Structure 1
Amino acid sequence: MTALRRILAVLRKEIWQLRRDRLTFGMVVMIPLIQLLLFGFAINTNLRHIPAVLVDHSQSGLSRALVQMVEATQVVTFTERTVDVDEAERLIAGAKVRAAFIIPEDLYQRAVTSPATGFATPPSTDDVTARPVAQWIVDGSDTVVAGAIRSLRAMPLAELFRKPANRSVPTFEVAFYYNPEQRTVVNIVPGLVGIILTMTMIMFTSAAIVRETERGNTEMLITTPIRPIELMVGKIIPYMVIGFIQVGIILGLGKLVFNVPMQGTLADLFVVTLLFILASLSLGLVISTVAKSQLQAMQMTVFFLLPSILLSGFMFPYEGMPVAAQRIADVLPATHFMVAIRGVVLRDAGLAELSGHLWFLAGFAILGLIVAALRFRKRLD
């Protein structure tokens, strides 16, 4: 009975401590709740409304009917229109769209005569009677998106072109750019850079200020002339070096082990990675000014890590998420970094083509540093 009383005493103490530690109690409730909502509502592998660009060289009633038939599937939505194939390819490289639908000028002739030639890739050998009447150029780096576009080849085009049942069936030709072999690892490795940096950069820095407080160093800092912003910058510089080392390890092994291509320049990769590291570190510093212990700092890191994994486009395509989940994803640095690093590594996208995402990362980093410095000043006061 004495042992039981001691156990109950410790139990009451722990319950009382949990009641006082509202942040930890909140995490206990919020983490499973967020996971349930994310997996239940935000994750959808049945893609709809994939952004695409239309290149209609025919400009005929038949081509317009063909476009309407494609849009009726709701697999793609033509958000851009141009007559320049090169411009369409630049839009894909900059991640403005995921695919381009090219309708040739001689659309009707291709449908009623011999198999067409002159596309970027030869006709598929899956159906020897297939007659390509138009072409899809697809960002093949994301195999889920590529698979959704490829499914459009099975559309019933014979009825549109009034083809008899005993004649060859018109079809679409699909060319996969950046990942013609459709290897999933090509898309995973650059995305893994974002997830690992999110986890390590936020985790390292979120405990930085808290550790100083727990060790009693905060009182010593008060007596020094160092400014809060100077302290923040000094804290993050070592972790910046660590971040670049991690990037080198991931991409280097990705190239050696999995033969993941590196299409862009190292200078572009450096700029993109630097901005994301700064954004992640600044978020970690903000967390460190809120958390009261290193345990709380780690709990809050997990709170941001889960949405970054599930909503950033690392595991599931951004286009497959509901609008509400996309709006949440838009405020996560990892979402913008996924687009940027995959653009540089896989599609040779330049900084100008990715400028919108880069400006977001830069603004996030600056805002995070300012908020962390102000909160640290308040804590000292």
Structure 2
Amino acid sequence: MRKQFVSAMEPWTVDEQLLYNPRERFIDYVLPGIIGLILQLITVTLMASTLAREREAGTLYQLIVTSLQRGEIVIGKIVPYFAISVVLILLIVLLAGWHFHVQFHEPAMLAVICVLFLLCSLGLGLVISAVSRTQTQAIQFSVFFLLPVFVLSGAFAPLEQLPAGIRYISEIFPLTHFCRAFRLVNLYHAPIQYYGPSLAALCAGILVTFLGAAFLLRRIEQ
């Protein structure tokens, strides 16, 4: 009886094990937001000013009346910025791994997520460019879109901190789905059924923006 009493009075120890982000580093959490914000700032802003600049100079109408299809014009405008953005992603990943010692889980899936987000951002820039009559107007539209993205996309803070109504608005931003999918893969090692809806949302964004850009180019022709 005395031995049982003495053993009960001994201090208990708690063995803690962190399942997600075991190194407890903030850079591992915000890295998707950094990548996404840099890509969107460059792709949306530069892509938006491309067609608007040619439209303002009058060269866009010369391009439209050629034998090129609308899809070919869109692809031709996207390819250079896509290549530049891929190089930027590689540089950011190399810097994060070398200087900040960030570990990447399932790099193939992370690459797919980055490509989908990149295409969605380029398509969004094309839509903004197609509806803008001048280069200045295109940049203003880009800034008007990007400002709420910084706060409402969950790039640097969890979306759960936002009011419920605001969280629904954040679902329209591609950066929200990019950050969610990237973290589920890289931090939580989640299976695809958890981040599959985010991939589907990015694919839907690509389809909508590219079709919208082609439709708006057809309206410019008319």
Relative to the length of structure 1, the TM-score reads 0.53
For 1:187, the aligned partner's letter is Y
The 8 Å contact of residues 32 and 155 in structure 2, kept in 1 or not, is answered as no
Distance 1:287 1:319, change over 3 A: same
Structure 2 counterpart of 1:332? 173
For 1:373, the aligned partner's letter is A
Distance 1:242 1:194, change over 3 A: same
CA offset at residue 293 of structure 1?
Answer: 1.3
| Mapped partners of 1:319, 1:351: distance in 2 | 22
Helix, strand or coil for the counterpart of 1:314?
Answer: coil
Matched, 1:353 2:194: yes
User: What pairs with 1:1-381 in structure 2 (closer than 5 Å)?
Assistant: 129=11, 174-264=16-106, 266-381=107-222
Relative to the length of structure 2, the TM-score reads 0.89
Q: Deviations over 1:13-41 (max 9, x none)?
A: xxxxxxxxxxxxxxxxxxxxxxxxxxxxx
Q: Which has the higher strand share?
A: 1
Structure 2 counterpart of 1:79? none
CA offset at residue 370 of structure 1?
Answer: 0.7
Distance 1:218 1:176, change over 3 A: same
User: Which of these two proteins has the greater Rg computed from alpha carbons?
Assistant: 1
RMSD: 2.1
CA offset at residue 174 of structure 1?
Answer: 5.0
For 1:304, the aligned partner's letter is F
Distance 1:222 1:251, change over 3 A: closer
The 8 Å contact of residues 190 and 251 in structure 1, kept in 2 or not, is answered as no
Q: Deviations over 1:57-113 (max 9, x none)?
A: xxxxxxxxxxxxxxxxxxxxxxxxxxxxxxxxxxxxxxxxxxxxxxxxxxxxxxxx8
Structure 1 counterpart of 2:3? none
For 1:204, the aligned partner's letter is L
The 8 Å contact of residues 44 and 124 in structure 2, kept in 1 or not, is answered as yes
Q: Deviations over 1:328-378 (max 9, x none)?
A: 101110000001122233333444431110000001111111111111111
For 1:336, the aligned partner's letter is H
For 1:242, the aligned partner's letter is I
For 1:291, the aligned partner's letter is S
Q: Deviations over 1:192-220 (max 9, x none)?
A: 11111111111111111111112221221
Distance 1:329 1:348, change over 3 A: same
The 8 Å contact of residues 289 and 372 in structure 1, kept in 2 or not, is answered as yes
| Mapped partners of 1:129, 1:213: distance in 2 | 76
How many pairs align? 216
Select the structure with the greater relative contact order (CA < 8 A; seq sep ≥ 6).
Answer: 2
Distance 1:318 1:329, change over 3 A: same
For 2:141, the aligned partner's letter is M
For 1:314, the aligned partner's letter is A
The 8 Å contact of residues 71 and 214 in structure 2, kept in 1 or not, is answered as yes
The 8 Å contact of residues 191 and 341 in structure 1, kept in 2 or not, is answered as no
Distance 1:180 1:214, change over 3 A: same
Unaligned runs of 5+ in 2: 1-6
Q: Deviations over 1:285-328 (max 9, x none)?
A: 11001111111111111112122211111122101100111011
Identity percentage over the alignment?
Answer: 34
For 2:184, the aligned partner's letter is G
Q: Which has the higher helix share?
A: 2
The 8 Å contact of residues 189 and 251 in structure 1, kept in 2 or not, is answered as no
| Mapped partners of 2:89, 2:166: distance in 1 | 28
Distance 1:333 1:114, change over 3 A: farther
Distance 1:310 1:129, change over 3 A: farther
| Mapped partners of 1:345, 1:286: distance in 2 | 31
